């Protein structure tokens, strides 16, 4: 080959190198040409993680791939900035979908996608049930049935596998001659003693197999909790905190001038009439005052002090206060129906009665995308007639209404995915987060059921 031809070929390849080398470099750095906007942009991506694993991933209605069988994740890379429709499917499960915004040099994350089975596994535990009362550990259940003997209490132990109540459910006692209305049940620490709050007063059931009950206190009090194995604490109508000995039937006054008290970790947490939250020992001595400035207290309003998620709350009628890091009560919500703390203790779900909606209030900074700051409140979904809120995990809720239970996500990027898991009249529902089991009383058929979410 002649020298001139060699130089020509070299020059051609040199020109091609200078043309394509930047293109390759820019491509490897994630740059693409956006023909719609006629400019060079850096791409982004979508990272998705699903349960169950090995789910089908669709982007803009086109199948992309499966999430991996180990971690259930998949990364869609090199996406031009813009809006994308993401859908997750799996045979036998409901689908999940969301419109997501992808930005330059950013990865949009959806790391908590849960698909529920089309058929939620369930089992009928008992029939002819009027009501049920679970112990704090959810290991025991007091079931009120209307059978051939009348209205009777039966004590059941819940198996570690919650598909059954123990076969040796014990008859407790017949309530026909005792009282007509039950307002609640209180259990002692080892769950061997039970106090029933009725229309006629408070009745004590002492141990398993004891079919007798005895009236111990009149109905015009509020039970605070068991202060020991044989001592029950209560607030009387005048706000006096009292400890009542169940053995010798004697009373001991602990503290006066209270709006509300609870028993927490071996001591009392009280809100007094001056607006201070105090830790009170069983001897009646003040061990700690939590707030530096008093909360404004009205004689005409009802107050409830709440200790959850390592935080102290005060609920007054429909307003809610949180004791902040400066030890001052901060008003965080107006017209709050109730709160439900998340299992990670980083946020609480709030149901607001007026202009009914469910929102999340963040107690700590949450780094889950998008990042939420401490003290931030995010609206999740508008909902009416909410009876209760349960957490499935830190990112999903069960919403109980009088006639159904709905499973919803808390990720409010785009629409909120929700799945109806139960649609019959409900008198009561209790969720066992550890066992992923939902105990539900069907008020139409008087059936006690359990739904299983451990899949």
Q: What per-residue confidence (pLDDT) applies to 451? A: 93
Per-residue pLDDT of the chain (455 residues; tens, 9 = 90+): 556 655 655 565 555 545 544 544 444 444 444 445 545 558 889 999 999 999 999 999 999 999 999 899 999 998 999 999 999 999 999 999 999 999 988 899 999 999 999 999 999 988 999 999 999 999 889 898 887 777 788 888 887 765 555 534 565 666 655 667 888 899 988 888 888 888 888 888 765 554 556 677 787 899 999 998 889 999 999 999 999 998 888 999 999 999 999 999 899 999 999 999 999 999 999 999 999 999 999 988 999 999 987 899 999 877 899 999 899 999 987 777 889 999 999 999 999 888 899 999 999 999 888 889 999 999 999 999 999 999 999 999 999 999 999 999 999 888 899 999 999 999 999 999 988 999 999 999 999 999 999 86
E strand or H helix at 348: strand 347-352
Q: To the nearest whole number, what is the mean pLDDT of the chain?
A: 86
Cβ 336 vs Cβ 320: under 8 Å: yes
For the four alpha carbons of 30, 36, 38 and 39, in that order, the dihedral sign comes to: negative
Q: What per-residue confidence (pLDDT) applies to 23? A: 45
Determine the Cα–Cα distance for residues 422 and 404; give it in Å rounded to an integer: 5
Cβ-proximal residues to 371 (8 Å cutoff; 6+ apart), any chain:
365
Cβ 47 vs Cβ 107: under 8 Å: yes
Q: What per-residue confidence (pLDDT) applies to 246? A: 87
Give the residue from 353, 351, 455, 344 showing the smallest Cα distance to 398.
Answer: 351
> Model pTM?
0.87
Determine the Cα–Cα distance for residues 11 and 401; give it in Å rounded to an integer: 77
- For residue 155, count CB atoms less than 10 angstroms from its CB and return exposed for 0-12, middle for 13-18, buried for 19 or more: buried
């Amino acid at each position: 080959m002649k020298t001139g031809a060699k130089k020509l070929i070299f020059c051609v390849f040199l020109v091609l190198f200078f043309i394509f080398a930047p293109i390759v470099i820019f491509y490897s750095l994630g740059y693409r040409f956006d023909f719609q906007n006629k400019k060079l942009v850096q791409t982004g991506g979508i990272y998705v993680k699903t349960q169950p694993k090995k789910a089908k991933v669709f982007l803009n209605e086109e199948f992309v791939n499966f999430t991996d069988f180990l971690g259930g994740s998949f990364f869609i890379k090199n996406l031009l900035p813009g809006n994308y429709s993401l859908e997750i499917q799996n045979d036998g499960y409901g689908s999940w979908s969301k419109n997501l915004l992808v930005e330059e040099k950013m990865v949009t994350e959806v790391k908590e996608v849960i698909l529920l089975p089309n058929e939620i596994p369930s089992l009928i535990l008992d029939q002819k049930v009027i009501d049920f009362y679970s112990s704090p550990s959810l290991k025991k259940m007091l079931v009120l049935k209307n059978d051939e003997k009348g209205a009777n209490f039966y004590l059941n132990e819940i198996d570690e596998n919650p598909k059954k109540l123990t076969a040796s459910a014990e008859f407790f006692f017949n309530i026909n001659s005792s009282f007509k209305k039950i307002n609640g049940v209180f259990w002692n620490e080892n769950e061997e003693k039970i106090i029933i709050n009725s229309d006629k007063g408070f009745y004590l059931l002492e141990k398993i197999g004891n079919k007798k009950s005895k009236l111990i206190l009149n109905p015009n009090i509020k039970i605070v909790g068991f202060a020991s194995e044989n001592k029950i604490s209560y607030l009387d109508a005048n706000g006096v905190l009292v400890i009542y000995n169940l053995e010798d039937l004697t009373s001991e006054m602990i503290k006066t001038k209270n709006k509300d008290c609870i028993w927490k970790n071996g001591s009392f947490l009280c809100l007094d009439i001056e607006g201070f939250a105090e830790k009170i020992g069983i001897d009646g001595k003040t061990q700690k005052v939590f707030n530096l400035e008093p909360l404004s207290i009205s004689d005409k309003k009802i107050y409830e002090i709440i200790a959850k998620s390592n935080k102290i709350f005060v609920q007054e009628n429909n307003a809610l206060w949180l004791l902040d890091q400066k030890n001052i009560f901060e008003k965080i919500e107006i017209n709050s129906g109730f709160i439900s703390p998340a299992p990670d203790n980083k946020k609480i779900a709030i149901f607001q009665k007026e202009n009914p909606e469910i929102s999340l209030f963040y107690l700590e900074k949450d780094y889950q995308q998008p990042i939420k700051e401490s003290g931030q409140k995010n609206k999740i979904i508008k909902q009416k007639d909410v009876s209760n809120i349960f957490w499935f995990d830190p990112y999903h809720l069960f919403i109980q209404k009088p006639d159904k239970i709905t499973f919803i996500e808390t990720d409010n990027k785009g629409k909120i995915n929700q799945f109806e898991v139960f649609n019959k009249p409900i008198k009561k529902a209790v969720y066992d987060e550890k066992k992923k089991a939902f105990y539900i009383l069907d008020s139409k058929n008087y059936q006690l059921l359990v739904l299983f979410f451990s899949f």
